Structures are given as C-alpha cells and as structure tokens.
Amino acid sequence: MTDQENNNSISRNPFAALFSSLADAKQFAAVQKQQLREPADEATGSQDDSDNSVSESLDDYDDSVAEISRSFRSQQELCEQLNINHMIQRIFLITLDNSDPSVKSGNGIPVRCVYLEEMGADLDGQDWLDMANVEQALFTRLLLPDPRSHLIYMTSANTQNLSADRDAGETHVLQYLFASFQRAQEEITKVPENLLPFALRCKNLSVLNARTILLTPEIYQNQNVHEQLVDLMVEALTRAHFQEVSEFLEEVIEALLADEEVRTFSEVMTPVFEVLLIRIKELSLCQILLQTYLDVLLFITRQKNLAKVFVEYIQPQDSNNGQMYQKTLLGEILNISCLLKTPGVVENHDYFLNPSRSSPQEITVQESNIHQFMAQFHEKLYQILKNLLQLSPETKHHILSWLGNCLHANAGCTKIWANQMPEIFFQMYASDAFFLNLGAALLKLCQPFCKPKSPRLLTFNSTYCALKELNEEERKSKNAHMKGLDKETCLIPAERDQEPEFVPSYNLLTENLVLTQYSLHLGFHRLHDQMVKINQSLHRLQVAWREAQQSSNPAADSMREQFERLMTIYLSTKAAMTEPQMLQNCLRLQVSTALLLVQIAIGNHSTEPIELTFPLPEVQHSMLAYIPEFFADNLGDFFIFLRRFADDVLESSADCLEQVLHFITVFTGSVERMKNPHLRAKLAEVLEAVMPHLEPVQNPLISSVFQRERVFCSYKYAAHLAEALIKVFVDIEFTGDPHQFEQKFNYRRPMYPILKYMWGKDTYRQSIKNLADYASQNLEAMAPPLFLRFLNLLMNDAIFLLDEAIQYLSKIKVQQIEKDRGDWDSLSAESRREKEASLQMFGQLARFHNIMSNETIGTLAFLTSEIRSLFVHPFLAERIISMLNYFLQHLVGPKMGALKVKDFSQFDFKPQQLVSDICTIYLNLGDEENFCATVPKDGRSYSPTLFAQTVRVLKKINKPGNMIVAFSNLAERIKSLADRQLQEEETYADAPDEFLDPIMSTLMVDPVMLPSSRVTVDRPTIARHLLSDQTDPFNRSPLTMDQVKPNTELKEKIQQWLAERKRQQKAQLEEGEQRH
C-alpha cells in the first residue's frame, strides 16, 4: 500500500476524528504496534487466536484501516494517549519526537520544545511521552547543560518566536520548573476530567523536582539554585504575578519539610538568606529594587516555616557585640538610609552633593523625594516586624529577643566618649541609621495605643523596667526581652521599704513602649545632638569663610570645600530625621508618654485616666521609681528638635500640647517626682520649644503660632506652670555637679523668654505677682520664699554675666588695637595662630555673656514695672542699686571707651538697650523713697555726675522725651538725698566698732545675733546672705532667718548713741549760728 493510499485509508477511518492530524494517527498506530510487539514476544501458549492475529498484523506493519482499528481497544485509550503526550509537551516543553514539523499539526503542540535525543535512543526510538517516562524525561531536561542547543521546531511556523525560544530554552532550572508549574496549573483548568489526574501529576512533578534541586543542588552543574530562588521571587514581584510564585513555593516548602533526611529545611534555606544579605547590602534608599526585596522579606515573614528560619538566621554570632547586629540580614536592611555610610566621607554619597549649586527649591524637592522612599521603607519594615510578632509564639519570642539583645548590646553608644571617638564607636556599635529606622518601625507598632484616650495606654506596667537578669525560658514566659533596665537611673529612687510587684507576664504594649523609647534614645537622640553640633560648625565655618574671602586669604577655597561637605552631611541628616509620618508617629507617642507619666505621677493605678488637680497628692511608693529617665529625656529632646528643625509640626498639632504642658507643670517643679535637676531644667527648654514664638517670623503664613497661642492662653493650670518654672530656676543653682556654676546659665537661658512671654499674658503675670506678694509677706520665714530666692539669683546672674561680658569686651578691644597696629605681624606663625585663637575664644565668651546679661537685665526691667515692694526692701535694694550703678559707670561713664570694640553685633553687645533697661528699672522703682535714699549709699559707683552722663546718653540714643525728663528729675531727687546723707555720715563717722556690721562695716540699724557663732550682724545683711547660702557665715553651721535673735540691748545703745550724736550736732550748729 502506498503512502497516499495509506493516508486515504486512515482518513476514512471513523477513529481518525480523534486525532489532530493524519500524521498523529500514523504516529499513534506505530506506537501501539511497538507496545504490543514487546508483550507478544514474552506471551505464553495460552494466548488466544485473536491475540495471535493482532501480533501477526503488527509484525507485518500493515497500515491498513483494519489494522489501526484492531490496534486499539477503545477510542478513549487512543485519545488519552495522544492527549497525554501533547499535554506533557505543552507543560514541560520537551519532546521525544523529532519528525518533520510539516507533518505535525499545530493544534495543541507547542511551537518549540527541547528534544531529548539520548532518552529517545534509550527507549529504542519511542517518540512519545507518557506518565511512565515523564519523570525520567523531566530529570533529563533538568540535567542538560544548555537546553537551548537542543531546541527543535514542533510546528511548521516560519516566523521566529522569541518568547517560545526563551520559554523552552530556559537555562535556570528553578525558573523552568516554576514556569512548568504555571503551565500545569493552566492545563488543570482546561483538560477534560479524564486527563485531570495526569495534569495534577505533572504539576506535582514540578514541585518535587524543585525540592530535589534545593536538597541536592550539587547535582545540577552551573546552577546557583539559591540565587535562582531569590530571582524567581524578585522577578515575580516586578511583574506582578507573585501570587503564583507564592503557591509554587508553598508547595515546595511543604515537600521539603516532608523530607529532611538529606538536608534540614533550615540548611536548605540558609544559603537563600545569604544571597539576600549580599544583595541588600548593595542597595540604597531611593532604589525601586529595594522595595521589591522588602516585599520578598514580607513573604518570608508571612510564611511560618520560612520566618522561623529567618529569625534563627539573623541571630548574631556574638550577642554582646552591638555592631554584629548590623551585619545580620535584618541589620543590613535597617542600615539603609540617606545618612552617610561612613561618617564624614561624602564621596560616593547619593544625596545633596554640591548643595551650594542647588537652589532651595531643588533641595526641597530632593528632600521630599527621600521622604517618599523613607515612608515606604518604614512601612515595610514595620510590616516585617508585625508579621514576626503575630505569626507564632516562637517567631515573636525570637524577634523580641533579637531586639532586646540588640538594644542592650548597643547601650554604650549613648556614652559621652562614643561621640568623641567615632572611629571606635563604629567598630563597636550599630549605626545611627540602624536605630533611626528601627525606631521608626517600632513607632508604627506603638500607634494603636497612642490614639487619644486609648484604653490600652494605662495598662503599661513600669515594673518591667525593674526586672533583673532573666534566663531564656523566663524571658519567653514573662514576655520580657529587654535587658539591663534595672541598672538605668529612674525618675526617682525607690523608697527603702518599696519593692516592685512583678507580674507573671507583661503585655506587648509594655514591651513595645520600652523597646521604642530605648531605640529613640540610641538613634533619634544621638542624631539630634549631631545636628546641633553640625549646625554650630556650619555657622562658624561660614563666618570664617566670609572673613577669608574679604581678606583674600588663600584658605578661602579650602573653607568653601569644607562648608560644602558639612552642608551635605547636614542636609542628609535633616532629611533622615524629618520624614513627616515618622515625626507624626513620634509626636503621638511622646504625647501619650506625657499622659502616662502624669497619670503615674498622680498615683493613678487604674486603666482610666483621672483628672489632674492641684495641689498634687503626696508621693508614696510611686511607680515613677521604675521609670527610666530616658523616657522623659526622649520626650523633651523630641519637642526641642521640632522647635529647631520642624516647627510646623508643633503648630499643626497644637491640640496635643495640653498633655505636654501637664507633664511640664507636674514634673518641672516637683523634685519628689523627678529628682534629676538637670532633667527638670531641660523641661524648661521643652516649654520654650512648645510655646509660641516671641520673635517675629519671616512668613507668618508658613510659620503661624495662632494655635499654640490659643492653647497657652487657655491653659487652666497657668499659675502652677509659672511657679514650676521659677522653682526650677532656683533649684538649678544647687545641682551638686562640679560644673554647676557654668551649667546653670545654659539651663536658665530658655527660661528668660518664657518669663517674658508669661509676663505679657494676664493669667501668668498675675500668678507671678501672687508669688511676689507671698514673698513680701513672709520675708523672714524659716525657708526664704521662692520668689525672693528667685530675685536674688536673678540679680546674682545679672551681676556676674554683665561683669564678665565687660571684662571680655575690654580684652577684645586691646587685642583688636594690637592687631590693627601691626603688633602681630612680627610674631611667628604659631604665635599669630595662638593670638587669633585667643581673640576668637574671647569673642565667643563675650557673645554668650552678653546674650545672657541682656536677658537678665531685660527680665528685671519688666518685673520691676509691677513688682516693687521686694526690690525696695533692704534685703535687695542695696544690691540692685550697686549693680545698676556699676554697669552705668561702664556703659556711660569714663570707662565706656574700653568697650568700644569693632562690630558690636558680632558679640551681641547692645549698650543702648542695656542703658535703656537700667534706666527703666530706676524709673520703675524711683517712686519709693526708701529706694532713692539707698542709691547714694553705693559709695563704689554712685555719683551725681554718673546720672548726668546717663541723661546725655539717653538723649543721644533718642529715647522718648518723657523718659529723659523723668530720669533727670529722679537724678535731682537722689542728689538732694545724697547731700543730706553726706551730712549724716559725718555724724556717724566715729561710731564704735561694736555698732558696725562685721560684714559690711556699716552702722547697724536692726542688729540680730546668730545663734551658733554668737556674732551680731545687721538684719538686712544676714537676710541677703541666707538667700544664697543657708549657713552661718562665721562658722558654716546651718542657719535660717527664724533662728536669729534680735539684739535689743545693742539696738538701744545704737539708738541712744545716734540720738546723742544728733543732739551734739544740733548744739554745735546752734552755737555756730550764735557766733555769727
């Protein structure tokens, strides 16, 4: 029979309709002949006649219609066999059939397949695939070194199909198996029911072979299967079909877990995490690819078994080495930031290069772009942590242990030396970026209980911070993973009989809050300090750069380069710290912390907040004894940061500020609730930070203070807030610190503008005046009244600061003259540098003391406008008068020339304002006769000439005419009193020594005896002394004003002597008149 006849016969066969083409029918007939021939050779004599006839017809290889019909037992078998072959080809893109594609039909056959030639030869020319050989075929395909060299066309299509080439010739085994898995999934949805088991088997083969590849990767040459697995996930995420990859991986993981004899699941997956670690280390914040890799980790941390391996993998080799945590996979992610990777090295930095060449708008756009990437980055970090916390108790324990151990191992980075020795710091501890990002992610975890009036907030248990060292099992059972908190300094010391009442297990809120606050302490707090220092360095460098430019100094170019580098660091740090969502989250946390601490401070043990009332309840066994100071320090630091670098956040969140004001009011003035005077003084700076600006702003639309003004003016505890501020002003005088004298001026600096603001508001001003009235009525109380002590210290500061400023200005004047005269030109280069450094140092010191003295004198000026009784009392009158006269002598008298330095503004020297404020104080108090009478007693500085010179200066600086006239009248009145006192002093010139004050050497008016030393002094003298030092000045024993005893006997003697002297003087005058 010819081929044509054979084809015609087959085409007329009713079974032919089951085939896609005549070629398929012929192929199938040949296959069946071959299969039936083999069993026929082994058949026994029991075979019947029909079997023999079939065998004979096959041997004859007769392709007649009758032979084809006899070769198959049923239509279903014929159809099934063909369809299985085609389905396997479609799923795995492999074939044993290398026949001419022109005789094949394209219906159901892939365009390109890998031809498994060797396998076909092993099967004695079998050219079809079935369920018996598909597993071997797939394994053979996976072992091919280069499948692309085995590609053949399956159809007669003439056009090149790159997609078909790529799919069939896929060289990466895992990608190939995943694609096969996808194709099998598609087949499952299409095939008839009778073929469904075979499609499912093919899908399962994809999974099982993927498992084999991961268990024994060494079998597959030139295949880095771990990189392929990472690539598979990354590509799926990039192309938005990750759900299918996820299903594939879930089944592969299940298969791996079912067979851990060769390798454990952890051993299989650890190399995958190592690939992720290497790749993530190379990524930067603003790369889109970073988000994709974070999505990979989100999948990993959602999958229970992968997450378990992940939390084990990220544990560092040395849990006590803080820097080792940064080298873990999670640590490398946390280290990604716009901050410099190597401190001080801007080369190869990706952000804010050459900032002087960028416009403000360009810098703002770049910062905004960074913030967008940061927001996405922090959200995914948060989701990763959240997944691990929620997935299982095991992953929760591991990630909390990692966090607790990490923070404890890095605790040393807050030490002072860590800032001074950065090269050692970065060998020992994780980076600032690490903790900034960790803090941002933890802040998001805290948000559920940071909502206004959250019922969960007060479930926080501060005894968590008092736990001693726990073993691993105890940490897990108690939910207490943070270490070393019991060694932290707390807000107050525990009482002797106070023991913490530990609970069996702590809630996640408690642990979250502690971990978050400690992360902020290590990250945000450190970076804020750095920003302030960078800002100061930029200012100094800018001044030096301008001076160098003006003097054509060759160092100008070098300074410009330094300025550029420093500006890059500053802008990068600012961008990292001002991401809006992070700031809002931190604001909510710190406001919630303020509420929490106030509720603890007033003794609330319930989970519902109670109303704050004054006076505050007595402190007894307070839970504040277990609250670390860094809680309050973080709170204060954050609001100070906002004031400096993100003021708009404060204004937009003004309604939150009432809780912050509560916190400041309760803690600033209460040493029973916050022992550390430095921390309480810092709260004054916090108050300055959150209050409305005093200085005018350039753009009121951008930087409004309306909302803060509303909150401050309506604050219902205004009187207590003002008192708390004045109390901490006084308390900071005695901190016990060896540097307390220098520190107190820095601590008091923010208090002056606050007092000025308060004085301008009726409620606050009245509360200050009430304190002054109380002090006037209790001048000789056992403990000097608060406001009296405040005024005494205020004058002490004014005297010291302005005197120091005058001294430094005098030195600067001398050095400037020397330099202008050319005296420095003959000096060696080293000596000139020393002189320049000395001049710069004097300038900085003069500026500081001028700023502070301006504030103190200004404060005295507005206080004396309505508070007079205290200032004119003998306790204070002599001191304030001598101070004012001394300064006038330098500012308007013959010594004023010594202060005429170049450029007053460079040193914040404002002599006109100082003269005006001093004259205002005089005029405020000048109506009091006692005060005016005390002015001439200042023998050191007062003279009628001094006041005449002051009047001339007032005219010269264009002060209002009514002020000049008033001061001239005051000067005349004081001069007349001075003349009268001069006559009286002549009368008392020969007073006995026992009548003279042993400290001031003046005639005593109200002598009192000190109880321990038995020395008699004038009452005003000892009263002034006790304001600053409550000891007997003659033997240092404790002394209070109520202990002094009037020396009535001596007082009577003095009065008798005075009366006698006056009588004698009168008699002498009368006698002199009679002679004339």
Structure tokens at 916: 């005006």
pLDDT in tens, 133-185: 999 999 999 999 999 999 998 887 666 778 888 999 999 999 999 999 999 99
Mean pLDDT computed over 201-206: 94
Residue 319, strand partner residues: none
Q: What is the mean pLDDT of residues 872-887?
A: 84
Longest dimension (CA), the chain: 183
Per-residue pLDDT at 712: 86
Instruction: Name the amino acid, one letter, at 155.
Output: T
pLDDT of res. 75: 65
- Of residues 76 and 112, which shows the higher confidence score? 112
User: Reduced to 3 states, what is the DSSP secondary structure of residue 200?
Assistant: helix
Instruction: Note the pLDDT of residue 690.
Output: 87
pLDDT at position 248 over 50: yes
Task: Report the pLDDT value the prediction gives residue 64, as an integer from 0 to 100.
Answer: 44
Percent of the chain at pLDDT exceeding 70: 87
pLDDT reported for residue 3? 43
What average pLDDT does this structure show over 709-727?
A: 90
Mean pLDDT for all residues in the chain: 83
User: Where is 686: in which H helix or E strand?
Assistant: helix 677-690
Question: What is the pLDDT at residue 6?
Answer: 43
Q: How far apart are CA 204 and CA 197, in angstroms?
A: 10
| Position 577 pLDDT exceeds 90 | yes
Residue 14 has pLDDT above 50, yes or no: no
| 643-647 contacts, C-beta under 8 A, 24 or more apart | 643/688, 643/689, 643/690, 644/531, 644/532, 644/689, 645/531, 645/574, 645/577, 645/578, 646/578, 646/583, 647/703
Rounded Cα distance, 300 and 297, in Å = 5
SS3 153: strand
Give the other-Cβ count within 10 Å of 856's Cβ: 23
- H or E stretch at 196: helix 196-215
> In this predicted structure, which of 2-11, 85-94, 336-345, 950-959 has the lowest mean pLDDT?
2-11
Beta bridge partners of 121: none
Closest by Cα among 376, 779, 401 to 582 = 376
pLDDT at residue 38 greater than cutoff 90: no
Q: In the sheet that 1016-1018 helps form, which strands lie side by side, from edge to edge?
A: 1016-1018, 1007-1009, 1045-1046
Q: Where are the beta strands (DSSP E) in 380-488?
A: none
Q: Please check the confidence at residue 340 and state whether its pLDDT lies above 90.
A: no
For the ranges 3-17, 658-672, 685-699, which has the lowest average pLDDT?
A: 3-17
Q: Side chain identity at 989, as an amino acid letter?
A: A
Q: Place 63 in a pLDDT band, splitting at 50, 70 and 90.
A: very low
Q: Is 1026 exposed, middle or buried (0-12, 13-18, 19+ CB in 10 A)?
A: buried
- pLDDT level of residue 745 (50, 70, 90 thresholds): confident
The alpha carbon dihedral of 617, 631, 403, 487 has a sign of negative
Q: What is the pLDDT of residue 662?
A: 94
* pLDDT at 617 > cutoff 80: yes
Helix (H) or strand (E) holding 837: helix 829-863
Closest by CA to 328, choosing from 389, 412, 254, 270, is: 270
Residue 1023, CA distances (Å) to 617, 653, 734, 998, 1026 in order: 33, 47, 19, 14, 5
Beta strands in 427-540 (DSSP E): none
pLDDT per position as a tens digit, 350-367: 888 888 888 889 999 999
Q: What is the pLDDT of residue 99?
A: 83
State the average pLDDT over residues 721-735: 87
Q: Which two tokens stand for residue 492?
A: 């107050």
Q: ∠ CA(870), CA(872), CA(876), 5° rounding? A: 70
C-alpha span between 178 and 230 (Å, rounded): 13
pLDDT tens digits for 277-308?
A: 999 999 999 999 999 999 999 999 999 999 99
Q: How many CA atoms lie within 13 A of 576 on its CB side?
A: 32
| Residue 557 pLDDT > 80 | no
Tokens of 898: 């010594």
Average pLDDT for residues 812-821, to the nearest whole number? 86
Which token pair is 362?
């360009």
Any idea which of 26-30, 212-216, 641-645, 1002-1006 has the lowest mean pLDDT?
A: 26-30
Name every residue whose Cβ is closer than 8 Å to that of residue 293 and which is 6 or more positions away in sequence: 234, 276, 279, 280, 283
pLDDT of residue 957 exceeding 60, the answer is yes
C-alpha–C-alpha distance, residues 65 and 7, integer Å: 9
| pLDDT for the residue numbered 267 | 92
Q: 44-58, 499-513, 835-849: which has the highest mean pLDDT?
A: 499-513
DSSP letters, 286-351, are T-HHHHHHHHHHHHHHHSHHHHHHHHHHTS-SSTT-HHHHHTSHHHHHHT-SSS-SSTT--TT--S
For residue range 626-652, list pLDDT tens digits in order: 999 999 999 999 999 999 898 888 888
Separation CA 561–CA 542 (nearest Å): 11
With beta carbons less than 8 A apart as the criterion, state whether 371 and 578 touch: yes
- Indicate whether 699 pLDDT > 60: no
pLDDT at 7: 42
Question: So what's the pLDDT on residue 863?
Answer: 93
Q: Which residue has the higher pLDDT, 695 or 631?
A: 631
